[in-house]
Amino acid sequence: MTVSRSLLIAGFAACSSLVAAAEPALLIRCGRLIDGRAEQAAAGVDVQVVGGRITAIGKGLSAPPGARTIDLSNATCLPGFIDLHAHILINPGDVLADSLRKSSARKALEGLRNARVRLQNGFTTLRDPGDEDLYYSTIEIRDAIARGDFEGPRLFVAPHMISSTGGHGDFNDLAADLAIQIPNVVVDGPDAMRKAVREEIKHGADWIKLAATGGVMSAADDPRAQAFTDEEFRAAVDEAHRHGRKVTVHAIGAGGLKAALRAGVDCIEHGVLIDDEAIAMMKQRNVPLVPTIYVLDYIIEQGEKTGIPADRIAKARSLQAERDRAIRAAFAAGITIAFGSDTIFPHETANREFARMVRLGLSPMGAIKSATANAAGVLGIEKDTGTLEVGKRADVVAVPRDPLGDVTALESVSFVMKDGRVVRPAAEETR
Ligand SMILES: [Zn+2]
């Protein structure tokens, strides 16, 4: 046998990969450009891409030798979007039984599909803040995309949401005499918390996620109640930080939110009932808020026809008016806002979060920055992506209209490039 094994493997990899090869050089002609830093859009700007990185930005650039020109002269170019609260394993219309009925392997396949839907809609980077899976399929999806086995968004993963007994991650409406292992992590006490954090890190967690309060989509728990003791929060943060991981928390009520902040968590999800004291603490400590506005509205507006149980819809209704006031106050106070969708709804509609942010007082540019520069800062990848600047990865999105005039333009992404590879070619009206 003279054919080397490595040659065979290389040949197999070359024809089996679903990822198109990057073009060596490209010139993108943008009608308008929002770079994620400046407060205004710039008209008629070109972006030069070589080897997957941005090598020049300016007016009237000439194409490098051999480069293809992409004409987006009728469109607005933006940095690739980042969603910090993407549940890629959840499918719209899933009920409790689906999470128990599907194997981890099936969840991995569905999660990969959902992640790719997000990429097609402009999200070049996602953070999954915990999904229901006995194993670690979101980690496998992250790694398969990073290896180049599949096209997909860059992923940062908290494998599970760590919850207390009877908390947001527990399955509280199962019969008391049904002894099954639920596909979530439920712990009580600081030692059990430390072990859970270590298990998550052992299996590849980038982030640790805790349920700091009860939730909306869970049965028989109180969204206003603090779910863990101060000691349990401190144990989680100490363990995660010692291993160089950040902690984010699901928080509806202000009490649990502030207990988590005092313990030193790095990020807050939802913040539905955030109060002035919590806002001041977040401002002082520079802790970002991921407000996930659309999901609560979706439960109220579409919950009945999509089969969401009535008690969950009632919970959402009981919070909406207070939520509107609380999130408006958080926006007005100028704390760091980062984009999160909380996709329990069709993944292609996650872009609706932008307009919901604007409805509660964020400017369209503020909403765009929340999903670009700000979210990159939360993930610690701001040197690499999140803005369109020379030296950064060529993660570029285009929409056919001006999103600063009409924020819903961000729901019609018509071109997507990730790492200099075109993953969604420009639609006719964009060119
Ligand atoms: Zn969530």
| Residue-wise pLDDT tens digits, 16-52 | 566 877 788 999 999 999 999 999 999 999 999 999 9
pLDDT over 60 (residue 384): yes
Q: Which residues pair with 290 in a beta bridge?
A: 269
* Torsion on CA atoms 395, 353, 362, 396, rounded to nearest 10: 10
Query: Do 412 and 272 lie in a common domain?
Result: no
Cβ–Cβ under 8 Å, residues 338 and 292: no
3 found inside a domain? no
Query: Do 47 and 124 lie in a common domain?
Result: no
pLDDT over 70 (residue 1): no
Distance of CA 299 from the midpoint of ligand 1 (Å): 13
Distance of CA 374 from the midpoint of ligand 1 (Å): 19
Query: Do 204 and 244 lie in a common domain?
Result: yes
The whole-angstrom separation of Cα 293 and Cα 359 is 10
Q: What is the pTM of this model?
A: 0.94
pLDDT over 90 (residue 103): yes
Query: Do 73 and 17 lie in a common domain?
Result: yes
pLDDT over 80 (residue 429): no
Query: Do 121 and 228 lie in a common domain?
Result: yes
| Residue-wise pLDDT tens digits, 139-177 | 999 999 999 999 999 999 999 999 999 999 999 989 999
| Owning domain of residue 214 | 81-379
Distance of CA 342 from the midpoint of ligand 1 (Å): 5
Q: Taking residues 360-364, what's their average pLDDT?
A: 98
The identity of residue 374, as a single letter, is N
Residue 71 half-sphere exposure, CB side, CA atoms within 13 Å? 4
DSSP state of 352: G
Predicted pLDDT at 428: 66
Mean pLDDT of the chain: 93
Distances (CA, A) of 413 to 77, 377, 389, 416, 420: 10, 23, 21, 8, 17
pLDDT over 90 (residue 427): no
Predicted pLDDT at 13: 43
Predicted pLDDT at 179: 87
Distance of CA 157 from the midpoint of ligand 1 (Å): 13
Distance of CA 73 from the midpoint of ligand 1 (Å): 37
Predicted pLDDT at 22: 77
pLDDT band for position 270 (50/70/90)?
Answer: very high
| Residue-wise pLDDT tens digits, 302-351 | 999 999 999 999 999 999 999 999 999 999 999 999 999 999 999 999 99
Q: Taking residues 261-267, what's their average pLDDT?
A: 98
Residue 226's CATH number: 3.20.20.140
pLDDT over 50 (residue 77): yes
Instruction: Report the number of distinct structural domains present in the chain.
Output: 2
Query: Do 104 and 131 lie in a common domain?
Result: yes
Distance of CA 170 from the midpoint of ligand 1 (Å): 14
Predicted pLDDT at 30: 98
Distance of CA 127 from the midpoint of ligand 1 (Å): 11
142 found inside a domain? yes
